[in-house]
């Protein structure tokens, strides 16, 4: 079956802009051409359907792109995809659902969405889908707000952190690809499930490493500020509390 662009739009349900964007970032391979007319085929439609399916499971485009750049070893990628899907197949909530569960105005959730902090959760149709873990994290943010921290200042801090962590996340994916995933692919007797198992093992380890370091730095710097301010009683209480802290990351 052959499609011109308008026909592919009708068959896939994707907009012209989305199809062109997917081509630009390499998610969709280039069409053939007859003169100046772009000609698509079933492989393009199949790819768009696959992207839609993966996106609906909560996978960001960065991960989808990584999984679809599979070369001659699709078995490894399918195994890795199943591992990632297992960790993203939680209950899903809309923004209105999230606001209702949190007991906050929908406008507050909309403010966070407009900040770009949840763009990684955005689906290809523009909708944002939240998981049970997102709901739990949002409840933690509400505790900070109820302690008196202004929403806009908290958002500003979160946005600055988000910009830094996206670069770190991309570098972590590159490291996994270069030293784990490609190593497994080069092995003549490699088992595709080994890549997926490496993902399951390394993701919580890497997450705990980053979270633990952040907590340690946060506590250490807070204690130094109390010491400089000569707040002896507060320093004593904070030091005792810090020594009892144990960071727990659950998967």
Mean pLDDT of the chain: 79
Q: Which long-range contacts (CB under 8 A, 24 or more apart) does 163-169 make?
A: 168/210
What's the pTM? 0.56
Q: Where are the domains of the chain?
A: 207-251
Whether residue 46 has pLDDT greater than 80: yes
CA distance 160 to 151: 14
| pLDDT tens by residue, 52-110 | 877 776 667 777 777 776 544 455 555 666 666 555 555 578 889 999 999 999 999 99
Q: With 70 as the cut, is the pLDDT of residue 157 above it?
A: yes
The pLDDT assigned to 215 comes to 82
Predicted local confidence at residue 249, as pLDDT: 47
pLDDT at 72: 43
Mean pLDDT of 198-223: 83
> Smallest Cα–Cα separation from 206: which of 183, 160, 182, 174?
174
User: Lowest-confidence range among 27-41, 143-157, 226-240?
Assistant: 226-240
Whole-number Å distance between alpha carbons of 30 and 38? 9
User: Rounded CA gap, 68 and 55, in Å?
Assistant: 12
pLDDT above 90 covers a percentage of the chain that reads 23
pLDDT at 70: 54
Tell me how far CA of residue 177 lies from CA of 37, 195, 251, in angstroms: 37, 10, 22
- The pLDDT of residue 53 is 77
pLDDT at residue 17 above 70? yes
- Number of other residues whose CB lies within 10 A of the CB of residue 128: 19
């Amino acid at each position: 079956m052959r499609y011109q662009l308008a026909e592919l739009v009708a068959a896939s349900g994707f907009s012209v802009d989305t199809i062109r964007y997917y081509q630009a970032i390499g998610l969709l391979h280039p069409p053939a051409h007859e003169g100046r007319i772009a000609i698509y085929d079933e492989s393009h439609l199949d790819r768009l359907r696959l992207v839609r399916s993966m996106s609906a499971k909560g996978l960001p485009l960065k991960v989808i792109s990584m999984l679809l750049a599979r070369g001659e070893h699709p078995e490894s990628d399918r195994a890795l995809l199943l591992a990632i899907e297992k960790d993203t197949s939680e209950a899903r909530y809309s923004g209105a659902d999230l606001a209702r569960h949190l007991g906050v105005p929908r406008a507050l959730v909309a403010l966070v969405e407009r900040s770009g902090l949840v763009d990684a959760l955005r689906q290809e149709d523009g909708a944002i889908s939240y998981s049970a873990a997102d709901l739990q994290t949002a409840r933690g943010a509400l505790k900070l707000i109820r302690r008196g921290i202004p929403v806009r200042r908290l958002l500003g801090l979160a946005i600055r952190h988000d910009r830094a962590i996206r670069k770190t996340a991309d570098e972590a994916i590159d490291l996994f690809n270069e030293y784990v995933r490609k190593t497994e692919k080069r092995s003549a007797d490699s088992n595709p499930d080994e890549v997926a198992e490496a993902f399951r093992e390394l993701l919580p380890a890497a997450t705990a490493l980053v979270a633990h370091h952040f907590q340690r730095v946060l506590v250490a710097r807070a204690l130094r500020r109390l010491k400089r301010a000569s707040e002896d009683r507060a320093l004593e209480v904070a030091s005792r509390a810090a020594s009892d802290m144990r960071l727990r990351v659950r998967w």
